[in-house]
Amino acid sequence: MADTLKRSAGRNLAKLATKPAAADIIECFPLPIAVLDHTGEAVLLNKLFNQKYRQEILHSQSVRETLHESGAGWKTLNIPHGVNDAVACRAQTVDLPAGSMLIFDDTADEKALRELDQLETQVSALRRLCSTDVLTGAWNRRHFEEVVVAELERGVRHRQPVSLVLFDIDHFKRINDTYGHQAGDLVLRELVSVVRATIRSIDMLFRWGGEEFVVIAASTGYRGSAALAEKIREAVETHLFQGVGSVTVSLGVAERLAPESAETWFRRLDDALYLAKNNGRNRVWVERLGSSDLWAAESGPSVVRLVWQEAYECGEPTIDAQHLELFALANAALDASFKTAEPRGPFEAAIDKLLAHIVKHFADEEAILDARGYSDLARHKAAHASLLAQADKLRAAVAADRTSTGELVQFLADKVIARHLFAADRKFFPLFANQSAQGSK
């Protein structure tokens, strides 16, 4: 995947730099700017950069170190000047779709800083533009290659599975040959709308290439992803496409197995799609292997863990993400509580982190519900206050070494999960009933 990006980096970045909205601003910007590709080679140097610096400084050690710290803000560095001299200035790196932009600040001009904010807004808009497939509006393959890395890291960190659903349109060439390529393009766009209305808010749809698409099913093993793939298959089959009529898709499903490389995972996914097509098309083929089974085997039946279920999702991205994080932090606290041979400190630290998250989550959830005009908000706030009071008592008991794993499990599994998240929270789920389809767009 990385090789694909590198091969097209210069071409993509050159296109970005030549867009009038970007190139004009960069060229006339009142600070020196260098736009670089993924190899560190200059694609565009603005007027002020050429006036103040030589291109060779981009290969200096201080600049190279700054390039590896995108998003870290301003960094003071020494720029080579002459044979033995150096000039001190500040610099920061801004990520671009196929490279980076290095901005130098050797002034304290407030106007320049305001214009820098405007430039970053332009860059954000261009980044979104470069992450989207022009024809269908789905995320593009380049964006997939960025997102999937973050999903893999998050999955391993929280011991949450991640799966991919790869699908393509059956006999798409026949559609183009019969109805024309313009009709084929319309089918692709309509297919994206159908799939977006079917997948969940946490799932992401990408155009893989041609008539192939891929869905990242976050926090979902191959079993749940197989059900998701079947929903997509059925939704497409029952939909009548404008001017074409019935269309079907074949789908392959593969959950990532933590030790394997991304290349091996993708090979299994591609094989699953091949088997779906080779066995009659308009079907789902599931590769029944993944980290969820591996982690279950490692945990064994005696270890207590809270398992996230798709039924806990309400469709509001912030609330769903915080609920998922709550499960991860609760399991970390449970794991720490079982390690009786270790000092009490790690258990207390895990509890503190969990309770801090609960406090923030309750506040954020209340604000979201208030904005939506939730009629039962007063009672919901009272339930939150009661749980926080019980959480304070639990923390005091932990500090005094007067609590057990059983008490922790009862508070988390019974009071927070069963009674509150799965009972009280479900009452506001209808507020976000239509947000699942919209959130993926």
Q: 204 with 242, same domain?
A: yes
Q: Is residue 120 among the annotated active site residues? A: no
Average pLDDT, the chain: 79
CATH number at residue 121: 3.30.450
pLDDT at 234: 97
User: Cβ distance 226 to 284 under 8 Å?
Assistant: yes
pLDDT confidence of 416, banded at 50, 70, 90?
A: confident
User: Cβ distance 22 to 122 under 8 Å?
Assistant: yes
135: in domain: no
Tokens 């039946």, located at residue: 301
What is the SS3 assignment for 179? helix
Range 198-223 average pLDDT: 91
pTM of the model: 0.51
Q: 291 with 310, same domain?
A: no
Residue 3, pLDDT > 50, answer no
State the Cα–Cα distance between residues 250 and 267, nearest whole angstrom: 16
Residue 5, pLDDT > 50, answer no
State the Cα–Cα distance between residues 54 and 159, nearest whole angstrom: 48
Q: 33 with 11, same domain?
A: yes
**Lookup: tokens for 106:** 């050797």
User: Cβ distance 36 to 67 under 8 Å?
Assistant: yes
pLDDT at 197: 94
Q: Which of 109, 130, 151 is the last residue of a domain?
A: 130
Q: Residue ranges of the alpha helices (H) in 279-316?
A: 291-299
**Lookup: tokens for 63:** 């600049």
Within 10 angstroms of residue 11's Cβ, the number of other Cβ atoms is: 12
State the Cα–Cα distance between residues 165 and 155, nearest whole angstrom: 17
State the Cα–Cα distance between residues 61 and 434, nearest whole angstrom: 52
User: Cβ distance 37 to 13 under 8 Å?
Assistant: yes
Task: Read off the pLDDT of residues 176-193 as tens digits, 9 standing for 90 and up.
Answer: 999 999 999 999 999 999
> Which of 20-34, 57-71, 268-282 ranks highest by mean pLDDT?
268-282
User: Cβ distance 30 to 40 under 8 Å?
Assistant: no
Q: 175 with 73, same domain?
A: no
**Lookup: tokens for 323:** 């609920």
Q: 37 with 105, same domain?
A: yes
What is the SS3 assignment for 76? strand
63: in domain: yes
Active-site residue identified among 190, 211, 255, 316: 211
Residue 308 is classified by DSSP as -
pLDDT at 220: 86
> Which of 128-137, 197-206, 309-318 ranks highest by mean pLDDT?
197-206
Q: Which of 279, 295, 311 is the last residue of a domain?
A: 295
- Residues with Cβ within 8 Å of 313's Cβ and at least 6 positions away in sequence, in order, are 200, 201, 202, 320, 323, 436
28: in domain: yes
| Number of domains forming the structure of the chain | 3
CATH number at residue 320: 1.20.120.50
Q: Which of 242, 260, 295 is the last residue of a domain?
A: 295
136: in domain: no
Residue 207, pLDDT > 60, answer yes
User: Cβ distance 158 to 105 under 8 Å?
Assistant: no
Parallel/antiparallel/unpaired status of strands 33-37 and 75-81: unpaired
Domain range enclosing 110: 2-130
pLDDT confidence of 366, banded at 50, 70, 90?
A: very high
pLDDT at 291: 85
**Lookup: tokens for 203:** 């799932």
pLDDT at 34: 87
Length of the chain: 441
Burial class (CB in 10 A: 0-12, 13-18, 19+), 250: buried
**Lookup: tokens for 265:** 């995972």
pLDDT at 406: 56
386: in domain: yes
